[in-house]
Amino acid sequence: MRRDRIADLPYYPIGEELMDAEAGGQGEAPSGGGNSGTRPLIAVFNSSDDTVELLQAVLEQEGFRTVVGSIVDVKTGELDFVAFIEHHRPAVIVYDVSLPYEANWNFLRRLRSSEPVKACKFIITTTNKLALDKLVGQTEALEIIGKPYDLQGVVGAVRAALRQTLTS
């Protein structure tokens, strides 16, 4: 998702009707997350376009559908995270928490407190797993994965989150 290709992605500005390019611009919700009988949909959010592209490629190679977003766009208000999640209904969200950890973790906690996002399973990625583990504790995220990523570890965490969703 390099910035020069961002124009190819559906745009979800705050306060405007959601338009889905696949639905012909009619504002219809796609067939959703993990419960639609199709390949599970995984949302990937990161500040690094290269990391988004890498995770997207690996997850798609493993048979998942993906939808991606930039954390920078969420923080600046260019992308409405809650509307994006409500529209796409991903089965799992892979979300990166970067420095400063406390501020970015608190930002994510605020996002997660909204109704459509509460039910979502999160895989958290970060540059310093030990620091984030200490801040977050054991109960707030399914899994925290540190960099450099073990890509199969990310895929395994996504599969575990999907299994947990099916058994809940």
**Minimal CA–CA distance to 43: which of 94, 114, 1?**
94
Q: Would you call 127 helix, strand, or coil by DSSP?
A: coil
| pLDDT value, residue 27 | 35
Residue 133 pLDDT: 85
Q: What is the pLDDT of residue 15?
A: 36
Domain 42-167 indexed as CATH 1.10.3080.10: no
Over the range 131-154, which residues count as b (16 or more CB within 10 Å of their CB) and which as e? ebeebbeeeebebbbbeeeebeeb
Residues 41/90, Cβ–Cβ less than 8 Å = yes
Predicted model pTM: 0.79
Alpha-carbon distances of 164 from 37, 70, 143, 159, 160, rounded to whole Å: 17, 26, 12, 9, 6
Structure-token pair, residue 63: 């048979």
89 closest CA partner among 155, 161, 159, 29: 29
Mean pLDDT per block of 10 residues along the chain (168 residues) reads: 43 38 35 60 96 96 97 96 96 95 92 90 92 77 82 95 83
Type of residue at 118: K
The domain ranges of the chain are 42-167
